[in-house]
């Protein structure tokens, strides 16, 4: 099973692909989509095109997207939500199942602590995916989202068997 994790962002969207075989995880690829452009509509279109290209090249079986972190800046949160919409739209266009995870859930699954720092997430991703060299913090976060999805998939399978 190939999972593509996505850490949505308007300026930088991180993505990471892992393969799951039983309880084994293997790093496939990761990267950053940087749309450029000044206008919101231009960046959203570019994100759609860049992420569609990633899906065409990586051919995942499932996708996982991180929920938007809501902060005090309502306008910023709304714009980030639009980037997240692109992150949900592209895998939906490919007909893939999509898991959605809160940032604290991702951190708790990967690091063991729900309020872990970015460098802790990146370190644990490197430990769980030997040989992985994240293209940046957003790519490390995307790989963490994919790892979180893999663990939740395994838990769902165990419940079905019980």
What 3-state class would DSSP assign to 11?
Answer: coil
Q: Which residues contact 32 (CB under 8 A, 6 or more apart)?
A: 12, 13, 14, 15, 135, 136, 138, 139
Is 138 a known active-site residue? yes
Pairing of strands 2-7, 13-21: antiparallel
Output the known binding site for Mg(2+).
Answer: 7, 66, 138
Is 66 a known active-site residue? yes
Output the known binding site.
Answer: 7, 66, 138
CA distances from 103 to 26, 73, 142 (A): 22, 18, 11
Residue pair 121/110 in contact by the 8 Å Cβ criterion? yes
Given the residues 62, 66, 122, 141, select the one marked as catalytic: 66
Given the residues 62, 122, 138, 141, select the one marked as catalytic: 138
Given the residues 7, 62, 122, 141, select the one marked as catalytic: 7
CA–CA dist 65, 63 (Å, integer): 7
Residues with catalytic roles: 7, 66, 138
């Amino acid at each position: 099973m190939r999972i593509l994790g996505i850490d949505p962002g308007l300026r930088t969207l991180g993505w990471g692909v892992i393969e799951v075989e039983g309880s084994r995880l293997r790093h496939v690829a990761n990267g950053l989509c940087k749309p450029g452009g000044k206008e919101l509509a231009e960046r959203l279109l570019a994100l759609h095109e860049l992420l569609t290209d990633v899906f065409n090249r990586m051919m995942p079986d499932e996708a996982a997207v991180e929920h938007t972190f809501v902060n005090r800046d309502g306008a910023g949160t709304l714009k980030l939500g639009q980037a997240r919409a692109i992150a949900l739209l592209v895998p939906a266009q490919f007909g893939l199942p999509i898991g959605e995870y809160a940032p604290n859930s991702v951190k708790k699954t990967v690091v063991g602590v729900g309020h872990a720092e970015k460098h802790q997430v990146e370190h644990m991703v490197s430990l769980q995916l030997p040989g992985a060299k994240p293209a940046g913090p957003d790519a490390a976060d995307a790989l963490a989202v994919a790892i979180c999805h893999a663990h939740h998939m395994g838990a769902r399978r165990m419940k079905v068997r019980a």
